Amino acid sequence: MGKPILFSATAALVSLTVLAAVPALANDGDRGKPPHQKPPEPVTCADLATDPANGLLGARKIKSVTSVVVPASGANVAFCQVDVLYGTNANQNINVRVGLPLNSLDGGAGGVQGAWNGRTQGIGGGGCAGSLNVNAPVNTGYVGSGTDTGHTGGNCEPGVNADGTYNLQFINDFIRNGIKQQILLSKAIAKTYYAMPPVYNYWNGCSTGGRQGYLLAQELGRELDGILANAPAIYWTRFQTAQMWGQIAMKDLVGAPIPAAKLAQAGASAVAACDAADGVVDGVIDDPRTCEFSAKANICGTATAPPANCLTQAEAEAIDLIWDGPRNTHGKKIWYGLDRGTNLSGLNGTNPFALGVTQFHWDTHDLAFDWKTVTADTYPQVAQAGSRNIADVSDTFGDLDTFRASGGKLLTFVGGNDQLIMPQGVIHYYRQMAARYGRHDSPDFARVQKFYRLFRAPGVAHCGGGPGPQPQNLFGALVAWVENDDAPATILAQSVANGVTRTRPLCPYPQTAIYRGSGSTDDANNFYCGGDLDTREVLCDGVLVKYKHEVNGPLDFDEGEVERRVCEQHRHGLPHDQEPENRACLAKRPGDYSRDGHRCPRAAGLQARKTRSKPTKMRYPTNATAVAITIVAQSSSIWKLTMLEKSR
């Protein structure tokens, strides 16, 4: 974060502090009135947990609280650490930690009050774990906060009880309750400790931390000014169920996991085939969704096979299925696959990804459920069970109405080759929000980008890594947007390999970086943001089967914000010159110009869906068991689904 940003906020906070410290001058109109209430004063760190007047000791729902000054150590500054155990019943035990830069009473200096910069920053977790490490934000002057989300470690198996019911206390504490209390407590404790409320409140997380950021924007929309939510693990049930698709494909077709070297070679061959599509050969596929390379080109004995790590027919078919993603027996896509160029070994190694196995247990509410009994044909039943049983509680796909109305800003980057969460998932959500806040109920990126921006990072893996240039200073960009109204038009990305520094601009979706045609391709200045990644082919190929109807449901063009008519023309392969004049109006507002110069119709054909209802906010169960579906194996390919309505 640059000094000008800090200075402007600091100056404002100093002004507020000075004004609060100056007693009001009496005048004739004040005579006879009671004296002004004495302004609050800071308290010591020790007093936070020992004096009931400070709102923690003895408070309802606070089971225990401690506060202590942690001395400086190495690169970490001294700070006041407050640990709170929160719970509304015997089974709820959420640990929240708040780290506060020392105030003036405890020896802090250099900030607007003590060592504090006037801001809070919540830190997210990862996998199935929270985080109680608050040093990073505290070291930069923020009040930092974290939570264990109600359980220790990263095991989510306790989400299902031994009797097959859901442990909704565990699930809701992990999904939402823990982080909500983290934010509310950190703001309240900061106000008490410094005798002034935070001026700006932020969230910073990736993966699970990214999902948590989206949850807070959806369900606690008035409490945060800025949210950095990278590689967000939203659609928790759907994408984690899909994490097992590759293992099932390899089991069915190959009989065992494919060696890592063969998976890597298949990925490298895909990159070699599609790298140049954007006009620059740099070892990265700009938009893997447009790459149609088949692993069958690597089958041993073919003219295109690599000299080493070629594939058998079965291995090639399995890899193509991994890239394509899970489909039902009617060929309809259930969720997205891992994009070409992505490291396939993370989910498709010798052992399956642990969270995927756990998700199957959540889907079926059965801790003994064996994923090896599932085939590609029966996978849709498991996916449907998860959607109907628990996804409404876990998947984090609500609207951003309150957050938007409150002036919040949401910034997200997702790696174009994320190996764990399938980046098309967050693009799917982003397009839905672009339609929700558009004028004609179709994606309007200019409007949604006023408060929510998504940046793709080609060649970047989950939360970072990979061959692509890495995003830089994302949190600083968020702060500049919130505090100076400086919306990020681009994000600088940089990598260093073999002594060569490469920089690129990352562009707000659906734009991408385009080479100007001259100058070094390692210099971001020789690229500009433009184009439109929302092509007909990409959007139509990404339409999913209807949520909760994964087995036999129709394709849900409305959820995909895609016109059914255009996709049907695409599917039937109509030649370009035989399509109607409005063929390129996919996802355009009526009256706009299509990509090939035609004006989109206002009355017929691809007119925007003005009558379609907006998504409604979900009501999440808190102390009840959700609707459950029991899956009973009848044979290797037939499943019986029985609806069980549990008490609420």
Total of domains in the chain: 2
Residues 359 and 215 both lie in one domain: no
Q: What's the CATH code of the domain at 500? A: 3.40.50
Query: How high is the pLDDT of residue 407?
Result: 98
**Secondary structure, 3-state, 377-437:** CCHHHHHHHHHHHCHHHHCCCCCCHHHHHCCCEEEEEEECCCCCCCCHHHHHHHHHHHHHC
In a domain, 541, yes or no: no
In a domain, 427, yes or no: yes
Query: How high is the pLDDT of residue 590?
Result: 38
Residues 246 and 386 both lie in one domain: yes
**One of 418, 441, 444, 534 is an active-site residue; which one?**
418
Q: Consecutive sets of 10 residues in the chain, 648 residues long: mean pLDDT of each?
A: 36 34 34 62 97 95 98 98 98 98 97 97 98 98 98 97 98 98 98 98 98 98 98 98 98 98 98 97 97 98 98 98 98 98 97 97 98 98 98 97 98 98 98 94 93 98 98 98 98 96 98 97 98 95 97 95 84 45 39 37 32 36 36 30 30
Residues 259 and 320 both lie in one domain: yes
**One of 67, 186, 207, 269 is an active-site residue; which one?**
207
The predicted model scores a pTM of: 0.85
Cα 231 to Cα 210: distance, rounded to the nearest angstrom: 6
Residues 262 and 247 both lie in one domain: yes
Residue of 637, 641, 620 lying closest to 174 (CA atoms): 620
Residues 112 and 212 both lie in one domain: yes
Residues 146 and 203 both lie in one domain: yes
In a domain, 538, yes or no: no
Residues 376 and 430 both lie in one domain: no
442 in catalytic set: no
In a domain, 553, yes or no: no
In a domain, 70, yes or no: no
Residues 398 and 298 both lie in one domain: no
Q: Which of 375, 393, 411 is at the close of a domain?
A: 393
In a domain, 604, yes or no: no
**One of 361, 365, 462, 570 is an active-site residue; which one?**
462
Residues 377 and 447 both lie in one domain: no
Q: CB neighbours of 249 closer than 8 A, spacing ≥ 6?
A: 318, 321, 322, 376
572 in catalytic set: no
Task: Identify whether the C-beta of residue 159 lies closer than 8 Å to the C-beta of residue 386.
Answer: no
418 in catalytic set: yes
In a domain, 550, yes or no: no
Q: Are strands 200-206 and 119-123 parallel, antiparallel or unpaired?
A: parallel
Residues 227 and 293 both lie in one domain: no
In a domain, 196, yes or no: yes
Q: To 5 degrees, how large is the angle CA 528–CA 514–CA 234? A: 90
Query: How high is the pLDDT of residue 569?
Result: 75
Residues 389 and 425 both lie in one domain: no
Q: Which of 530, 554, 575 is at the close of a domain?
A: 530
Q: What residues make up the domain containing 513?
A: 102-236+394-530
Residues 254 and 365 both lie in one domain: yes
Q: Which of 393, 411, 442 is at the close of a domain?
A: 393
Query: How high is the pLDDT of residue 440?
Result: 81
